[in-house]
Amino acid sequence: MMEISKTDAPEEMSQTGRGNFLKEVRCAVRFPLSLPVEMADDKLHDHPAVTRNVSANGVLLELTGPLAVGEELDFHLRMPGSVLGTPQDVLVHCRGRVVRCSISQSQYQAAATIDEYHFVEQ
């Protein structure tokens, strides 16, 4: 499956299991942040998650169990104030959906879009 996004975005090549290469086009810069993820959906509480990277459009999660491609996610991220340039950490409520899930050495990774988000008052 090929992901196609806006033009003029950074490109990366990834190899499929059959030796073919797919071009992945990204629209936003990814930041390597390891943040705990608070799942708002009860069915996902069984799989604690942490981010591997975060962008304005999506997130790569590392978790203990699989998520289904297409599954909708409702989650919170606590963004460090030092990253955002604010005096305090900021809690962000995100909604998105899983676009890819894989397993590596008994650890699952799920790529998810962030379709909408808002800052939670604390």
pLDDT per position as a tens digit, 71-101 = 999 999 999 999 889 999 999 999 999 999 9
pLDDT score for 25: 53
Q: Is 96 helix (H, G, I), strand (E, B) or coil?
A: strand
Does the domain spanning 31-120 belong to CATH 2.40.10.220? yes
pTM of the full predicted structure? 0.73
Q: Is the pLDDT of residue 48 over 70?
A: yes
- CA–CA dist 21, 2 (Å, integer): 10
Q: Where are the domains positioned within the chain? A: 1-28, 31-120
- CA–CA dist 41, 39 (Å, integer): 5
